Amino acid sequence: MAKSSGLGDNLYIAGFDASGDIQQLGAIGGGPALLNFTPINKSAYERQGGLRDGRIEYTAFFNHVAVTGGTHEKLAALPRTDQIVTYCRGTALGDAAASLVSKQIGYDPSRGDDGMLTFAVSAQANGFGLEWGQQLTAGVRTDTAATNGTGIDTAASASFGGQAYLQAFSFTGTDVTVKIQDSADNATFADVVGFGFTQITGSTPLAERIALGNTATLRRYLRAVTVTTGGFASLAFAVNVVKNETAGVVF
């Protein structure tokens, strides 16, 4: 894969597409805390991993939309509930994405001498660490009927489970369910048991994280599909999946 710039990236916050109001991302990081296990008979540090953590820090422009709600209304509420934040490195099918179940910390304004007004926000992990995966939708996808998405190639089958994130931006209709399917040959797909998001029947925006057991098998090709029982007119959404390549702890 060729090197690329950070142009054309997206940022989703709890079912809200804030991409057009984000100036920059300051930090996207995580991983386990480093625990010092150095005994007195060693001349260098010995370390082991501790609790996992994660953070996504970003700077937003001021965008106030009184009627429908803009980025200001979303962030100024300073919600105490969990906020799922997803950063998309590009918006092509299969591109990298980082997601985080987080608490929003701060919405602090800064006005420059030139009049520029920006707000600093930190999304800090709550219960799960930062998770990097691949996009199963090309940025925001809009379905107007039950649809089978295009599969992505994850290189090989793995039996270490996985996690998936849904960002649902708008919905019109009776019901719709977003599922993830897998395939060995990119031709014959089947539902992955446990990889179906909660059925959407009402208001959006919303966001959700789901996880498989850490011995579940995911085959080489993955895709996002929408199914319905009563019908729907439109669903705008984004999905990314994390396919675990090694055994780990599933929370």
Whether 44 shows a pLDDT value over 70: the answer reads yes
Integer Cα distance of 74 and 27 in angstroms = 20
Give 198-234 pLDDT, tens digit per residue. Answer: 999 988 899 999 999 999 999 999 999 999 999 999 9
pLDDT grade for 247, boundaries at 50, 70 and 90: confident
Whether 6 shows a pLDDT value over 80: the answer reads yes
User: What is the gyration radius of the CA atoms in the chain, in angstroms?
Assistant: 20
Mean pLDDT within 70-95: 96
Please state the pTM of the whole predicted model: 0.94
pLDDT grade for 251, boundaries at 50, 70 and 90: very low
Give 107-155 pLDDT, tens digit per residue. Answer: 999 999 999 999 999 999 999 999 999 999 999 999 999 999 999 999 9
Give 163-193 pLDDT, tens digit per residue. Answer: 999 999 999 999 999 999 999 999 999 999 9
